[in-house]
Structure 1
Amino acid sequence: MSDHDQLLVIVDPVARRSDGESVRIAKDVLSAGAEAKICLPDTPEEFVRALQRRGSRRPVVLGDDRALLRAVTLLHRERELAGAALSLVPIGAPETLRTAYALGVPPGPVAAARAVLDGSVRHLDLLVDDSDGVVLGHLRLPAVSAPAAPAPSVWGTCRSLVRTLVRPAPVVPGARTHRLRVEADGVLLADVGAPVAGVSVRSVGGAAEVTVHPPVAPPHQATARVLTVSGPDFRYRADGHVTGPVRRRTWTVRASAWGLTLPREEAGA
């Protein structure tokens, strides 16, 4: 990376409040390796305005998955995503950085800042829905977990054992089921008449890999460019965040739609 490369370092306000020391370290490393303009927005709205005014500077976000998603969403909606490679220095609790780590961003402010300076851009797929929302990593439908069964007491276990010895044990209900209609490139994978335990989606090689999980049978997969899910009001979990309820949503894969700076050994993976 040239010493003349100019960076716009946007520090997410949540990152600044939660881990000021990591923010300071990342800023020092970036400023030592490039000409860096530091922006310290206090609200998500100021974060957006800072990104909009980046000019020719390369944007670097210091924050968690939500901050990265905010930046990608803004650039997508302004139709500037293809020409603005992003960089991320992950700052936050591990559970708020699962998407970033899955994409290949190294943990720790020093390693991540060095990747910003010395790495290369990897072009990644994007799932875009019909409300102009985006998904960077995984999508799960619906965003509902089966309730955990209470742990049996010793007395309850003994009674269950006696019942089992006297007569066959009853069938234990499986996971909670949902009535969803799932279409992949127009091909029907599931319908409301045959409930499913859930659906998971991820983009792979320019297509969506769709996995339908029946209540008892093994899951089955399909690949598609366009996925449509409909049914009674449902919520979905995209990049770890819940959205909805909706009755119908369509996602389209945009191959190599955005660029993220990663370490060189990761960029070619």
Structure 2
Amino acid sequence: MATFATSDQLLVIIDPAARQADGESVRIAKDVLSAGATAKVCLPEGPEEFARALGRRGSRRPVVIGDDRALVRAVTLLHRRRELAGCALAMVPVGDTALAQSLGVPGGTVAAARAVLDGAERRLDLLVDDSDGVVLGALGIPPAPVRGVAAEPVAVPAGRPWLRTTYRSLVRTLAPRPTRLSAVPSPGPARLRVEVDGETVVDLDQPVEAVSVTPRTGGVASVEVRPLSVGAEATPVLASGRTVTVVGADFRYRADAAVSGPVRRRTWTVREGAWSLTLPAGR
């Protein structure tokens, strides 16, 4: 029987949304990981069980099989427990994973699983706000319209596949139709004061169309403010720094895959090299 080093002891947490979205990819990922390491597989049914499994990982290296929300959830949990710095996360993306891929995680199931086994830990910067929220990829103000609301998964009793069509018909009949992108009004211009490292970049007297903040390497975030365009397109205002404060009247913001607010003031601070993600060697 093959033996594995401590680093090869994996805790594979399969997010329930991934099992619902693409069971075949989940199965392939689990097979590849189990073939290359000693893997304990957890199948949480919701956020509480997800948090419990991650908290009981012991010396095992956690691997999340799921979408961007699952990755953000894992980072947030570890951050709030003050365990993020000493825990190297790994991920096999299943579902909506644009964020994970922007961070360097391979998009293919097999390639991502092999990167978990053969890759290297990479330290990444993190944005942390004054309510202990985290941003891995990008922050947007105001948030972009939501494309739609996914229906809750419908359980089908084992051994009775003929019920699937009946359940789906009931769901279509009883559930409200998802809101489409075209039905959600785009947010209008906002009056915000944006400060970077204590210096005012734009003040409340200048309406803005959008503000974006992205953590970069070296403990610095890049900030782009797009003033309201009247006639010719306005030139974006660019800045960079370690702290970004936004003040305004009840504004909302999108942090990675989630919308938060309304708030009147929020400060984000860059934490350099705050977390580790296992990526293909050489990236």
SS at match of 1:198: strand
Once the two structures are superposed, the pairs formed by residues 128-139 of structure 1 within 5 Å of their partners are 128-139=128-139
d(CA) in 1 for partners of 2:29, 2:74: 19
- Give the aligned partner of residue 24 of structure 1: 27
Choose the corresponding residue for 2:202, options 166, 190, 193: 190
Whether contact under 8 Å (1:3, 1:33) holds in the other structure is no
- Length-normalised TM-score, structure 1: 0.84
d(CA) in 1 for partners of 2:133, 2:76: 7
Choose the corresponding residue for 1:35, options 17, 27, 38: 38
- Give the aligned partner of residue 141 of structure 2: 141
Deviation per CA, 1:205-236: give whole Å up to 9, x if none: 21111111112320021111111101111110
Deviation per CA, 1:13-45: give whole Å up to 9, x if none: 111111111111000000000000000111111
Choose the corresponding residue for 1:235, options 252, 255, 280: 252
Choose the corresponding residue for 1:225, options 239, 242, 246: 242
Deviation per CA, 1:232-252: give whole Å up to 9, x if none: 111101113211111111100
Deviation per CA, 1:58-97: give whole Å up to 9, x if none: 00000000000000000000111010000000011xxx21
AA aligned opposite 1:208: A
Deviation per CA, 1:155-181: give whole Å up to 9, x if none: xxxxxxxxxxxxxxxxxxxx9421001
d(CA) in 1 for partners of 2:112, 2:37: 14
The alignment of Structure 1 onto Structure 2 pairs a total of residues equal to: 233
d(CA) in 2 for partners of 1:242, 1:43: 20
Whether contact under 8 Å (2:69, 2:257) holds in the other structure is no
d(CA) in 2 for partners of 1:23, 1:178: 42
1:181 aligns with 2:193: yes
d(CA) in 1 for partners of 2:259, 2:80: 20
Whether contact under 8 Å (1:128, 1:251) holds in the other structure is yes
Choose the corresponding residue for 2:214, options 202, 212, 229: 202
Shift of residue 144, structure 1, vs aligned partner: 5.0
d(CA) in 1 for partners of 2:99, 2:70: 11
Choose the corresponding residue for 2:265, options 248, 257, 264: 248
**Identity percentage over the alignment?**
66
Shift of residue 196, structure 1, vs aligned partner: 1.0
d(CA) in 1 for partners of 2:144, 2:207: 14
Shift of residue 265, structure 1, vs aligned partner: 2.5
- Give the aligned partner of residue 278 of structure 2: 261
SS at match of 2:32: helix
d(CA) in 1 for partners of 2:87, 2:203: 40
- Length-normalised TM-score, structure 2: 0.80
Shift of residue 260, structure 1, vs aligned partner: 0.1
Whether contact under 8 Å (2:10, 2:37) holds in the other structure is yes
Larger Rg: 1
Choose the corresponding residue for 1:214, options 213, 221, 227: 227
- Give the aligned partner of residue 70 of structure 1: 73
d(CA) in 2 for partners of 1:107, 1:209: 26
AA aligned opposite 2:136: L
Q: Return closer, same or farther for 1:144/1:15 CA change in 2, 3 Å cut-off.
A: closer
Q: Return 5+ residue gaps in structure 2 as ranges.
A: 146-186
Once the two structures are superposed, the pairs formed by residues 141-180 of structure 1 within 5 Å of their partners are 141-144=141-144, 176-180=188-192
AA aligned opposite 2:127: L
d(CA) in 2 for partners of 1:98, 1:107: 9
**Large movers: runs of 4+ above 6 Å:** none
Shift of residue 190, structure 1, vs aligned partner: 1.0
Shift of residue 198, structure 1, vs aligned partner: 1.1
SS at match of 1:264: coil
